Amino acid sequence: MDTSLLQKAEFLETPRSPQLEQVFVRSQAVVSRRVAGETLIVPVRGKVGDLASIYSFNETGSLIWQTLEAPKPLADLIDTVQQEYAVSHEQAERDVKQFLNDTLVAGLVESREEVAMSAMNSASRPSPRPAGLH
């Protein structure tokens, strides 16, 4: 039984395991489409789709991919899979981490430290001015 959430013809090296303090988001260097119930991903290199590197996701991978439209911490991704498929937390964690490992190596997903994301979010908000300054 094939349990891979990401199907591709070649095997790529595995990065370090995703950590709870990381935030994940889709790479901007890919395009994705949902076709006949399947999510297809094409990396874009030099403004051209790399048709030799088309990826497809199963149902679980498609759910995670859809969820990654906005940056999400690992814990949120695990909760999403656990709730959607009524599986144990451990099973959901294994599935999400496998998906993230595969997609990180392939360059389809990017990770960011949560601290960096918090800094970015606070930098985008106007800082309060001290009273009396206008």
At 113, list the tokens.
Answer: 């430290």
Query: What whole-number distance in Å separates Cα of residue 57 and Cα of residue 6?
Result: 5
* pLDDT band per the 50, 70, 90 thresholds, residue 10: very low
Q: Under 8 Å CB-to-CB from 45, ≥6 apart: which residues?
A: 29
Burial of 61 (0-12, 13-18, 19+ CB in 10 A): buried
Q: Can you say how many angstroms the Cα of residue 13 is from the centroid of all Cα atoms in its chain?
A: 18
Query: What's residue 29's pLDDT?
Result: 87
Q: Would you list the domain boundaries of the chain? A: 21-27+59-124
Residue-wise pLDDT for 22-40, tens only, equals: 899 999 888 898 888 789 8
Residue-wise pLDDT for 38-50, tens only, equals: 898 988 876 555 5
pTM confidence score: 0.69
